[in-house]
Amino acid sequence: MMSEKKNKFYIKTWGCQMNVLDGDKIASLLESSGYEKTNSLDEANIILLNTCSVREGPENKVFSELYRLKAFKEKELEILGVVGCVAQQEKEKIFQKAPFVDIVMGPRSIMHLPELIKQAKYQKALKVSSDEDTLLFPPEILNRNSKTKASITVMEGCNKRCSYCIVPETRGREVSRPLSSIIEEVKMLIDRGYKEFELLGQNVNCYKDGKNNFVDLLDEVSSIKGVKRLRFITSHPKHFPIEAAKLIAERNNICKYLHIPMQAGSSRILKLMKRQYDQPFYLELIDKIRKIVPEIALSSDFIVGFPTECEEDFEETIKCVNLIKFDTIYAFKYSPRPNTLASKMESVPKNIAKERLNRLLVTQHEIQKELFQSFVGKTLQILLEGESKKGNQYTGRTDCNKIVNFTSEKVLKINNFYNVKITRSLVHSLIGEL
Ligand code: 5AD
Ligand code: SF4
């Protein structure tokens, strides 16, 4: 029985694109070190939880999952590991809270995992990441789960100190990869058949490798033959360079889509959040971007119920959402994070935050419904991402990041571009025909 299970690992990932890519890196590294991936908990002798701590919700899920997995440790599970942001945040405290855990490893320490697994056979293994840890991961061994979009880490960490955010603590200070290594990786991925690329960084506009800045990065990568679509995430309003908007307008292969979190409409709240911009600055920036790229699709994150937020503050968020008309927003209830400035401020009652979140979502729902409706009758180019088991039902994504579900009598190929006529719209997706 034991030998059958030997060297099989199971990994579960929560959180942002960066964490998803880290999950791919971990799986690839273990596979290249002789371990085999399994999708069955029962089969695995190594289970890894790749965690997110940006809000309390996902963090709590990690602990409830750990207690569920305790039963596996009591049977044949050899190694249970917590990696990623919760690991970095809680460090050895995880061993205290859950003594049956064997490995705790921060998000920048992926390359150490094989040795930690060996160590964990004899004793608890702890590796906390530091800013000196390398961002370089051997690109030739990295197999991405997505066969249509290749995400690439270009920088990691964040030097901002937004008062609510745990990320600077878990992902460390900003470190950028040399542009040459990014270009090499993109070229290798083109040879493997990828057409769409996404440059990842917590504060991607602050990319800086000594010689090149974010605009150079966009310019160079979009100039590589074979890059059919290029995206980047996440932008910061204070650091988004307007030259980047010019490149988006000029280059057909840079997607006309920008995720640029506003977080709140009220300038008073933005100041408490330490976002380093106010409402007029954000609105002007969006104006400038839209003058250069009128058709750009915009998305944003918002936090509601930030400490001391009153009705008037919240109405500023609603006002901005109505004014800007984002294509999508991601809205969250404020969640206090350990050792952050905001966690010491006066909180807003939970029921009020919940009610405000609902109001914000209803407001966006109406805007989005109308916006998506305006695509009906148009023909859009999509990159095919998936097909239904029955065939003839397909799903893809537009340049502006909208999901399109459509039918085709012809058999289509994943990772190819097709033109789809939009016949109907829903709130979060479009429906069409080839
Ligand atoms: N509470 C609620 N939302 C948060 N975010 C980051 N920190 C918190 C927090 N403490 C949100 C922000 C960010 C997104 C990734 O998560 O909106 O842009
Ligand atoms: Fe967190 Fe602010 Fe950095 Fe974004 S910019 S990761 S919200 S500290």
Mean pLDDT of all residues in 260-287? 98
Q: Dump pLDDT digits (tens) for 402-420.
A: 999 999 989 999 999 999 9
Q: Please name every residue paired with 380 in a beta bridge, in sequence order, or none if there are none.
A: 420
The rounded distance, in Å, linking the Cα atoms of 162 and 218 is 26
Q: What is the pLDDT of residue 388?
A: 83
Q: What is the pLDDT of residue 421?
A: 96
User: What is the Å distance from ligand 2's center to 161 Cα?
Assistant: 7
User: What is the Å distance from ligand 1's center to 167 Cα?
Assistant: 9
The rounded distance, in Å, linking the Cα atoms of 29 and 344 is 40
The rounded distance, in Å, linking the Cα atoms of 102 and 194 is 37
Q: Is pLDDT of 160 > 60? A: yes
Q: What is the pLDDT of residue 167?
A: 92
Domains of the chain, CATH where assigned: 8-127 (3.40.50.12160), 146-255 (3.30.750.210), 261-373 (3.30.750.200), 379-433 (2.40.50.140)
The residue contributing the CA closest to ligand 2 atom 5 is 160
Q: Is pLDDT of 205 > 90? A: yes
User: What is the Å distance from ligand 1's center to 332 Cα?
Assistant: 7
Task: Check if 372 has its Cβ closer than 6 Å to any atom of ligand 1.
Answer: no
User: Is the previous residue joined to 234 through a cis bond, with omega within 30 degrees of 0?
Assistant: yes
Q: What is the pLDDT of residue 190?
A: 98
Ligand 1 atom nearest the C-alpha of 335 is: 1
The residue contributing the CA closest to ligand 2 atom 8 is 162
State how far the alpha carbon of 257 is from the alpha carbons of 141, 154, 298, 299, 317, in Å: 30, 18, 6, 8, 21
Helix, strand, coil percentages (3-state) for the chain, rounded to 5, are: 40, 25, 40
State how far the alpha carbon of 371 is from the alpha carbons of 52, 90, 92, 159, 368, in Å: 32, 43, 49, 35, 5
* 7-16, 56-65, 114-123: least confident range: 56-65
The rounded distance, in Å, linking the Cα atoms of 56 and 335 is 6
Tell me which ligand sits closest to the C-alpha of residue 164. Answer: 1
Q: Across the chain, what does the average pLDDT equal?
A: 94
One-letter amino acid identity for 142?
Answer: L
β-pairing verdict for 393-398 and 403-407: antiparallel
* 18-22, 126-130, 154-158: least confident range: 126-130
Q: What is the pLDDT of residue 43?
A: 92
The rounded distance, in Å, linking the Cα atoms of 334 and 392 is 43
The rounded distance, in Å, linking the Cα atoms of 195 and 17 is 18
Instruction: Provide, rounded to the nearest whole percent, the portion of the chain with pLDDT above 70.
Output: 98
Burial (CB count within 10 angstroms: exposed 0-12, middle 13-18, buried 19+), residue 377: exposed
Q: Is pLDDT of 2 > 60? A: no
* 15-29, 45-59, 132-146, 365-379: least confident range: 132-146
Q: Is pLDDT of 3 > 70? A: no
User: What is the Å distance from ligand 1's center to 39 Cα?
Assistant: 30
Q: What is the pLDDT of residue 1?
A: 41
The residue contributing the CA closest to ligand 2 atom 1 is 165
The rounded distance, in Å, linking the Cα atoms of 204 and 186 is 17
Q: What is the pLDDT of residue 8?
A: 95
By the 8 A CB rule, do 62 and 82 touch? yes
Tell me which ligand sits closest to the C-alpha of residue 206. Answer: 2
Q: Dump pLDDT digits (tens) for 115-137.
A: 999 999 999 999 998 877 776 78
Q: What is the pLDDT of residue 252?
A: 96
The rounded distance, in Å, linking the Cα atoms of 306 and 13 is 27
Output DSSP code: residue 141: G
Most ligand 2 atoms within 8 A of CB, residue of 165, 259, 330 to mutate: 165
> At how many degrees (to 10) do helices 279-292 and 242-250 cross?
30
